[in-house]
Amino acid sequence: MGFTISEKILRDHTDNKNAVAGDFILAKVDKCLANDITAPIAIEVFKKVIQGTNKGVFNKDRIILTPDHFTPNKDVASANQCKILREFAYEYQISNYFEQGRVGIEHCLIPEQGLVKTGELFIGADSHTCTYGALGAFSTGVGSTDLGVAMATQQCWFKVPETIKFIYSGKLNKWVSGKDLILYTIGKIGVDGATYKAMEFSGEVIKNLSMANRFTMCNMAIEAGGKNGIIEPDKITELYLKERKIADYHIYKNDKDAFYEDEIPLDCNQIELQVAFPHLPENTKPISEVSTMKIEIDQVVIGFCTNGRLEDLKIAAEIMRNQKINPHVRCIVFPGTQQIYLNAIKKGYIRIFLESGAIISPPTCGPCLGGHMGILAEGEKALSTTNRNFLGRMGHIKSEIYLSSPAVAAASALKGYITSP
């Protein structure tokens, strides 16, 4: 019997070369990532692990610290959190520490900086670390305790996940993107439909999908309970790696006789733009149905780790060009990194947003987790390109969050209600 990509990567990172899906393994990780919310706890655990020894981090070039959640510091507490990261980074000479001014939203920044390679085992104390599976890495979120131990020992426990293969056929309809595909998929299987499974995205549509859309899909694997999302590397993957001068990587391919727990075909000809209703990402409806409801919104937020790449901003800018945002709507745009922000300025996208009446934020997770830069009041409704719409996630417990692609978000900001471009 053959093996899937996920199984192969994990088998090659453990001494147990006979490991199969369902087995527990102690694996050697390639990279460790944490942010200003999760790193302080990991650092505390790390110091307990090395207490009484002369040891430091397992490799100062393989630890990545990104203070991106509550930054620029929104209050004294967040400033203290970031100070812990800063002092740790200086003490242990962490080369990949991204201070404000260089920082970006971690899951946009890490691939942009060439810090993840195809075939790596990458862990992060953030559930959306599964984003990097778009590059053919086994990338997953872990707890801060596990990360703290791994920063000292380079080891982490895993259960080798079974794989569910999603096969996307047909052609994408106008404006339909990776965000719509993953929302549609989660709507089909539910938020627990892939619990601790590897979600492998495949098929002719995926082969023609841009890296930005692939990142979006893998980013939201966790919203279906997935341990990781992953896409078999191809020419598009290799071009992305080449552009970032990434070498010395290992491409894993599925064996022809690999076993899948399930194979789910999805006809993209039938997939419309999608909107996820409160308070779960599985509550999806097609835009043809949503548009008739005329759901008025108070706020639109575009960007973040799910849809904050240049391609996402381009789509929103194309729709908003020479248009004005509805006077009853607050529209905030969050470029994923400083470089994306700069490129969006050069392309003229930022000017379009500003002239339309939008607000531009520095790269930060901000309101996505109820942090800052756009918290909702009681009774308010927001349409967001983020990945979660849980109860109270973006502010008041009696507010509502709807999820969509940048195209739907931009069109809705102009109209004042959820609609299609």
Q: Determine contact, residues 351/313, Cβ cutoff 8 Å.
A: no
Cα–Cα distance, 90 to 101 (Å, whole number) = 17
Question: Tokens in use for 301?
Answer: 């937020």
Domain-ending residue, one of 271, 286, 304:
271
* pLDDT for res 205: 98
Structural domain includes residue 420: no
Q: Determine contact, residues 49/149, Cβ cutoff 8 Å.
A: yes
| Burial per residue of 257-293, b for 16 or more beta-carbon CB atoms within 10 angstroms, e otherwise | ebebeeebebebeebbbbbbbbebbbbbbbbeebbee
Structural domain includes residue 421: no
Q: Determine contact, residues 162/197, Cβ cutoff 8 Å.
A: yes
Cα–Cα distance, 152 to 157 (Å, whole number) = 14
pLDDT, tens digit only, all 421 positions of the chain: 799 999 999 999 999 988 999 999 999 999 999 999 999 999 999 999 999 998 999 999 999 999 999 999 999 999 999 999 999 999 999 999 998 789 999 999 999 999 999 999 999 999 999 999 999 999 999 999 999 999 999 999 999 999 999 999 999 999 999 999 999 999 999 999 999 999 999 999 999 999 999 999 999 999 999 999 999 999 999 999 999 999 899 999 999 999 999 999 999 999 999 999 999 999 999 999 999 999 999 999 999 999 999 999 999 999 999 999 999 999 999 999 999 999 999 999 999 999 999 999 999 999 999 999 999 999 999 999 999 999 999 999 999 999 999 999 999 999 999 999 9
Relative to beta strand 274-276, strand 284-286 is: antiparallel
Q: Determine contact, residues 307/385, Cβ cutoff 8 Å.
A: yes
- 412 alpha carbon, distance to own chain's centre: 23
Domain-ending residue, one of 271, 300, 320:
271
* pLDDT for res 1: 78
Three-class SS string for 224-286? HCCCEEECCCCHHHHHHHHHCCCCCCCCCCCCCCECCCEEEEEEHHHCCCEEECCCCCCCEEE
**SS3 category, 60:** coil
* pLDDT for res 302: 98
75 and 208 together in one domain: yes
229 and 376 together in one domain: no
Structural domain includes residue 68: yes
**Residue that is written with structure tokens 């655990």 in the block:** 45
284 and 267 together in one domain: no
Domain-ending residue, one of 253, 271, 289:
271
* pLDDT for res 100: 79
23 and 116 together in one domain: yes
Cα–Cα distance, 325 to 333 (Å, whole number) = 12
237 and 380 together in one domain: no
Residue 261, CA distances (Å) to 1, 113, 185, 198 in order: 13, 35, 17, 10
Residues in the chain: 421
Our count of domains for the chain comes to: 2
The CATH number linked to 352 is 3.30.499.10
For the four alpha carbons of 115, 121, 125 and 128, in that order, the dihedral sign comes to positive
167 and 210 together in one domain: yes
pLDDT tens, position by position, 53-91: 989 999 999 999 999 999 999 999 999 999 999 999 999
350 and 362 together in one domain: yes
Question: Tokens in use for 385?
Answer: 């390109």
Structural domain includes residue 97: yes
186 and 302 together in one domain: no
376 and 389 together in one domain: yes
* pLDDT for res 17: 86
338 and 401 together in one domain: yes
238 and 385 together in one domain: no
Structural domain includes residue 23: yes
pTM of this structure: 0.95
Number of H helices and E strands in the chain, helices first, is: 15, 18
Structural domain includes residue 136: yes
Cα–Cα distance, 350 to 353 (Å, whole number) = 5
* pLDDT for res 87: 97
pLDDT tens, position by position, 295-320: 999 999 999 999 999 999 999 999 99
357 and 343 together in one domain: yes
Cα–Cα distance, 304 to 309 (Å, whole number) = 8
Structural domain includes residue 408: yes
* pLDDT for res 156: 98
Q: Determine contact, residues 200/231, Cβ cutoff 8 Å.
A: yes
Cα–Cα distance, 96 to 115 (Å, whole number) = 9
Structural domain harbouring 49: 1-271
